[in-house]
Amino acid sequence: MKCRNNPRSLVVPLRRIFNPSPSEKEKMLMNWPERVWIYSPIRVFFQIREIREWLRLVGRAETENALEIGCGLGRGAGLLVNRMGFREVVAFDLEERLIVRAVKSNPDSLKQKISFYVGDAQDLPFRDSSFDAVVNFGIIHHVLDWRRCISELSRVLRPGGLFYFEEIYPPLYANFLMKHVVRHPTEDRFSGTQFLEALASQGLCLVDGVRLESRFGIVGIARKSSA
């Protein structure tokens, strides 16, 4: 069965969707130490570990389409196709230069499966229930209005669809040492409890088997209520 909303009809790669003020954008962008980590091969290794956890929870997803937020250089989008089984991925990032690089480095074998654009997770340019899955590799804690971000992700996710996420909490990125190394928004940051409550408020319920014991972060999946 064809998906009701073909993402290629909804976005154009490199189209600028959202234009935050320079001060707002600066608060959400990574600084150079975090870039070294995020865009290193080591980060890909950790993404693969996160995907293994997602596969443990729900198995391989023969899913029509998925949205990835904060895709950076697009390596995660490739993993979603090759390892998760997504047939088509729409991926975006706030930084246009990263999207330009992602488009250029996208392998020929994936060009018909992955679309890139420049945008912001607080303001998604898609109709309601556009995607079968939404994926977050640790981006929401960078977003200023993270509650609105979760609301937007839920809005574009179809009922019964899955939200795959990895997130970290302040004890990891805002402790005495790390707060002087990496840059993140400092106001209204979420704890593990607040993050899960925000998911539940948007009809996103954890699937069975998600591990909740860590105070530093979480890797899990939530299913959008069909009600």
Domain ranges of the chain: 7-224
Q: What is the pLDDT of residue 22?
A: 59
Is residue 86 classed exposed, middle or buried when 0-12, 13-18 and 19+ CB atoms within 10 A define those classes?
buried
Q: What is the pLDDT of residue 6?
A: 43
Q: Spelled out in words, what is the top-level CATH class assigned to the domain 7-224?
A: alpha beta
Q: Tell which wins on pLDDT, 74 or 172.
A: 74
Contacts of residue 220, Cβ cutoff 8 Å, sequence gap at least 6: 53, 57, 165, 206, 207, 210, 211
Q: Is the pLDDT of residue 198 over 60?
A: yes
Distance of alpha carbon 121 from alpha carbon 90, whole angstroms? 13
pLDDT, tens digit, 9 for 90 and up, residues 55-68: 999 999 778 899 99
- Across the chain, mean pLDDT equals 85
Q: What is the pLDDT of residue 5?
A: 37
Alpha helices in the chain (DSSP H): 22-28, 32-38, 41-58, 75-79, 96-105, 146-156, 170-173, 192-201
Q: What is the pLDDT of residue 11?
A: 43
Give the residue-averaged pLDDT of 81-110.
93
Q: Is the pLDDT of residue 26 over 70?
A: no
Q: What is the pLDDT of residue 16?
A: 42
For 85-132, the DSSP string reads: --S-EEEEES-HHHHHHHHHHS-GGGTTTEEEEE-BTTB--S-TT-EE
Locate 193 and state its tokens: 């409890």
Confidence tier at 93 by pLDDT (50, 70, 90): very high
Q: What is the pLDDT of residue 119?
A: 92
Distance of alpha carbon 189 from alpha carbon 113, whole angstroms? 34
Dihedral of CA 37/39/45/48: which sign?
Answer: positive
Q: What is the pLDDT of residue 141?
A: 94
* Weakest mean pLDDT among 2-16, 73-87, 88-102, 120-134: 2-16
User: What is the chain's length?
Assistant: 227
Give the residue-averaged pLDDT of 101-108.
93
Q: What pTM was computed for the model?
A: 0.85
Q: Is the pLDDT of residue 34 over 90?
A: no
Distance of alpha carbon 146 from alpha carbon 140, whole angstroms? 6
Of the candidates 137, 199, 202, 146, which has an alpha carbon nearest to the alpha carbon of residue 168?
137
Strand pairing of 114-118 and 131-137?
unpaired
Q: Is the pLDDT of residue 221 over 50?
A: yes
* SS3 state of residue 198: helix
Q: Is the pLDDT of residue 38 over 90?
A: no
Give the residue-averaged pLDDT of 145-157.
97
Confidence tier at 150 by pLDDT (50, 70, 90): very high
